[in-house]
Structure 1
Amino acid sequence: MNLTKGIQKSLGPGIVLAGAAIGGSHLLSSTTAGARFGFSLVGLILLTNLLKYPFLLVGTRFTASTGKSLLEGFKERNSLYLPLFLVVSLITGTFTIAAVSFVSGVLLTNIPLFSTFPAMDLSIGILIVSGMILILGKYKALDRISKFLVSLLTLLTLFAVLSLLFKGSINESLNMSFFEPEISPWKLTNLAFLIPLMGWMPCPVELCVWPSLWMFSRAKDSNYKPNINEAEFDFNLGYLITVVTAIFFLTLGAITMYGTGDGMLSGSGVSFAQKLILLYTKSIGNWAKWIIIPAAFAAMFSTTITCLDAYPRSISAIQGLLRGTDFGHLDSKAERNRFQIWMIVHIFASLIALLIARSGGIGVKDFVFAAMTGSFLTAPLFAWMAMDTINSKLVPFKNRYGFFLKTISWIGLIFLTLFSLLFIANSFFGLGIY
């Protein structure tokens, strides 16, 4: 089979990962970063993407090299890795699914057909619809929907950025934000924003496991097992899309909202969505809502449906591995039934989380940024697990990381650890340095 045909058959898990990544980190954090600090955080976003790259690549390379899932690698490498991953997945899974479905529901309130419905009811509806799509359509539906939504939101955000640039909306103060921002982001007081930004940029480190599991379903769907070059092409394409769209959303936030970022995430989720759309339409024109609303909703819905598949898939696979009954590849009917049970459990648990959030009056900022912060604080742990596994004897020597990726991995591990410690010290011990 020629290379083009092989790439076409293997294309999927990397794009699905992009669908998971382009959500809260892009729509909320990147847009707000541009609104608050102009273009001064472009470097941090690019650096975070670079330093997380080796860790997120691990799942794809490990499975393509060994024929095993990364979760199998964790189990074989260290007896503590799998239980640790399970505990964090159980804690973060429900909260993350609830958070992204909540934002999806909020965005739907901007569509006239749904404007009279409470945002929380729409969020619950999105959860249920996503679950039905996955239970009935399985991985094939996830693959097709993710490819469509990622393509749609990339094209729409590019169109919105070009519309603004051709309109010449960049003012002099914004131009200077590259070098001398009016409000400096480099203060400890901004850690509460910078940590969530890095936590989900482009996605949490533990997502390295997801493409590894999806590769087995994609292979069954396409009846083709990709080699390492084909699998990594798919991953790299998806990763490139996440980086580019992050810069798109930051640019949109910088041009349309510069100087208003401090108030963007205040108030209710509905007020956030309305402010977001209003600022875009003021800058581009009223017609722009038909570009921004679909792009924003596509970003969040792709994240919702992907997370609703991936967390139960991971936990189900871990259950099989810990029991010693199977490898979690969904080869048997028992595995598939267990996976569906975990998906239903996550739907109900997320519904409860949403109802608790509604009764407690929790806003979009608290809901989403808490999940982002948790992802960043656990990142050093998962980064070490991924790095340790890919460079072990479980992987053929020629497929282990070379000097370049090892160097970035160590720098990334130090970067993630130092920022996590700094955030903890500032939050709990009040360093008070400005």
Structure 2
Amino acid sequence: MLDGYKKVGNWAFYLFLILTFLTMFFVQSGVTIVTAALAMNLFGDVISLSQWAALVLVIVCAVLIIGHYKLLNILLKWMMLVLVVCSLIAWFAAVGKLGFSPSAQAPEISLTSAASIAFIVALIGWMPTAIEISVWHSLWTISRGNKPSKETAKNASIDFNIGYLTSFVLAIIFVWLGSLLMFGQGEGFAKGAAAFVGQLVGIYSNALGDWSWLLMAIVTFIALFSTTFAVADGFPQVWKRAFVMISTLPPAEKNKRANKVYIISLAILAVGSWWIISDFSADIKALLDFVTTVSFVSAPIYAWLNYKVIMGADVDDKLKPQGWFKIYTLSCLVLLTVFSIFFLWWKFIS
């Protein structure tokens, strides 16, 4: 994808790098603070939230530098399977107990109110996931050492679609569970980390029973811990590849320096993210809302860049969006752009 941006033009390549630098610390801090809060909820508040976050980041950096992330990646797939199964069971239990829609206790809120608009924007920002993950996925596919071919592209597409579909299904289930078990009961997420993750895990125990608390605490912690690994690896991979693309050094020296770029960017990412977490540790919800909103506002830029890449002259016409799918793609791009512009107008001008 980065090579594709470069072929679109240097402006597209460097625009993506600028956006990556502006957003990477916030995205990393968002997933890390939730992981740290889940660790505190599971293992106790023996240390502060910022200290838990520092410990998580140190472990993540050490494992990524040593190169043992593959084992964790296998574990993630099994934990995600458990999370999906438990989420589906919890959804059936919640619907069976409370019905398909929130109870009469839910407050009356208009979709055009300030609270609704802010919530929708924050929700869509990471639902089912951020658009820039398409670049990470392309880099991970290449890092596996597979030779470029139609079969490799097909396998990569299947892998991406399975992960994206899983995230999409979980997104719907999470929102539905929240509407029934929290919003439907007149309850909102707390600002404090301990209370926030307690409510998060409590959604499952409220639906499945007290026996499920420990299971879901472990599963959600591992799932978020693995997500922290993925994000911490994704951003440095971008800088590593960007260095390889713009460097004029001989191939051997270039690859050697590229590994150093990965380690340095990983360290900078960890320190910058921890600094943000230390400032937001008292209000975890505010940080998450801000991070997801930033992702939402920047999403149209990533989406249009990706569209320019796939419609480029070096891509086979058979692999480009065609017919109704092209119309659907352009409609989604326009909708995403208009909604983002509307939000910026509503937020800063209206």
Q: TM-score, normalised by structure 2?
A: 0.89
For 1:195-344, what aligned pairs fall within 5 Å after superposition?
195-219=121-145, 226-260=151-185, 263-264=188-189, 266-325=190-249, 332-344=255-267
Structure-2 separation of matches of 1:225 and 1:134: 30
User: 1:208 Cα deviation (Å)?
Assistant: 1.5
Q: Deviations over 1:19-57 (max 9, x none)?
A: xxxxxxxxxxxxxxxxxxxxxxxxxxxxxxxxxxxxxxx
Residue 341 of structure 1 aligns to a residue whose secondary structure is: helix
Q: Which amino acid aligns with 1:109?
A: M
Aligned to 1:130: 60
Structure-2 separation of matches of 1:387 and 1:172: 37
Q: What are the ranges of 5 or more consecutive residues in structure 1 without an aligned counterpart? A: 1-69
User: 1:225 Cα deviation (Å)?
Assistant: 8.6
Structure-1 separation of matches of 2:238 and 2:219: 28
Q: What are the ranges of 5 or more consecutive residues in structure 2 without an aligned counterpart? A: none
2:350 aligned with 1:417, yes or no? no
| Residue from 342, 349, 352 that aligns with 2:272 | 349
User: 1:223 Cα deviation (Å)?
Assistant: 12
Residue 83 of structure 2 aligns to a residue whose secondary structure is: helix
| Greater alpha carbon shift after TM alignment, 113-122 vs 253-262 | 253-262
| Residue from 119, 126, 133 that aligns with 1:193 | 119
Aligned to 1:110: 41
Q: Is the CA contact 1:73–1:389 (under 8 Å) kept in the aligned structure 2?
A: yes
User: 1:346 Cα deviation (Å)?
Assistant: 1.1
Structure-2 separation of matches of 1:223 and 1:77: 20
Percent identity for Structure 1 against Structure 2: 27
Q: Deviations over 1:120-151 (max 9, x none)?
A: 22121111111111111255345334323322
Q: Deviations over 1:57-85 (max 9, x none)?
A: xxxxxxxxxxxxx1011011111011111
Q: Which amino acid aligns with 1:393?
A: A
2:307 aligned with 1:387, yes or no? yes
User: 1:406 Cα deviation (Å)?
Assistant: 1.7
User: What is the count of residue pairs matched by the alignment?
Assistant: 348
Q: Is the CA contact 2:244–2:255 (under 8 Å) kept in the aligned structure 1?
A: no
Change (3 A) 1:143 1:299: closer
Q: Is the CA contact 2:280–2:286 (under 8 Å) kept in the aligned structure 1?
A: no
Structure-1 separation of matches of 2:19 and 2:259: 23
Q: Which amino acid aligns with 2:346?
A: N
Change (3 A) 1:331 1:161: farther
Aligned to 1:37: none
Structure-1 separation of matches of 2:277 and 2:149: 40
Q: Is the CA contact 1:391–1:400 (under 8 Å) kept in the aligned structure 2?
A: yes
Change (3 A) 1:101 1:389: same
How well do the aligned residues superpose, as a CA RMSD in angstroms? 2.8
Aligned to 2:98: 170
Change (3 A) 1:183 1:150: same
User: 1:400 Cα deviation (Å)?
Assistant: 1.7
| Greater alpha carbon shift after TM alignment, 366-375 vs 149-158 | 149-158
Structure-1 separation of matches of 2:184 and 2:348: 30
Structure-2 separation of matches of 1:109 and 1:143: 23
Q: TM-score, normalised by structure 1?
A: 0.73
Structure-2 separation of matches of 1:89 and 1:172: 40
Aligned to 1:120: 50
Aligned to 1:77: 8
Structure-2 separation of matches of 1:116 and 1:353: 21
Q: Is the CA contact 2:2–2:242 (under 8 Å) kept in the aligned structure 1?
A: yes
Q: Is the CA contact 1:153–1:294 (under 8 Å) kept in the aligned structure 2?
A: no
User: 1:163 Cα deviation (Å)?
Assistant: 4.2
User: 1:176 Cα deviation (Å)?
Assistant: 9.0
Structure-1 separation of matches of 2:214 and 2:50: 23
Residue 41 of structure 2 aligns to a residue whose secondary structure is: coil
Q: Is the CA contact 1:280–1:288 (under 8 Å) kept in the aligned structure 2?
A: yes
